[in-house]
Amino acid sequence: MSVSPKKISHIGVAVRNLEEAIPWYRDQLGLEFEGIEVVETEKVRVAFFRIGESRIELLEPTSADSTMAKYLEKRGEGIHHIALEVEDLPARLQSLKENGIRLIHEHPKPGAHQMNIAFLHPKSTGGVLLELCEPNSKNLG
């Protein structure tokens, strides 16, 4: 049994410097820039651009020992992950785990934009770093 995820929440793009990356998305592509948020748990600064019901999120490491800094060192800038919005994230994680899917986070943790998030391991997802997320308040669209 698997309920379909609701939508693509966002696409995460790794960048070295937000201020250098933002003008391309805002001024050349004309995407709606929503602002910047620091996500302490992930040691990243995130710039949000709205596109339809989804977002593009630019991710800049805030410290050299962060996962994002290591990713940039190894792989360079570019698409980092795809996030799908789901309902009942804890139950979905449990079910994936039972099916032998490797999880980076077995339990949801706080992410940007009042979302609870969990990453799945790319070894279990055909090489795509997948994030599942769920708004942590029912008031939020």
Residues near Zn ion (CB under 5 A) are 12, 83, 131
99 burial (CB, 10 Å; 0-12 / 13-18 / 19+) is exposed
Q: To the nearest whole angstrom, how small is the minimum distance from the Cβ of residue 46 to Zn ion?
A: 8
Which C-beta is closer to Zn ion: that of 27 or that of 106? 106
- Looking at the chain, which runs of residues are DSSP E strands? 7-14, 32-39, 44-51, 54-61, 78-85, 109-110, 115-120, 130-135
Q: To the nearest whole angstrom, how small is the minimum distance from the Cβ of residue 2 to Zn ion?
A: 21
Which C-beta is closer to Zn ion: that of 1 or that of 116? 116
Element (H, E) at 25: none
Q: To the nearest whole angstrom, how small is the minimum distance from the Cβ of residue 117 to Zn ion?
A: 6
Which C-beta is closer to Zn ion: that of 98 or that of 118? 118
Which C-beta is closer to Zn ion: that of 131 or that of 134? 131
Nearest residue to 3 (alpha-carbon basis) of 100, 140, 134: 134
Q: To the nearest whole angstrom, how small is the minimum distance from the Cβ of residue 137 to Zn ion?
A: 18
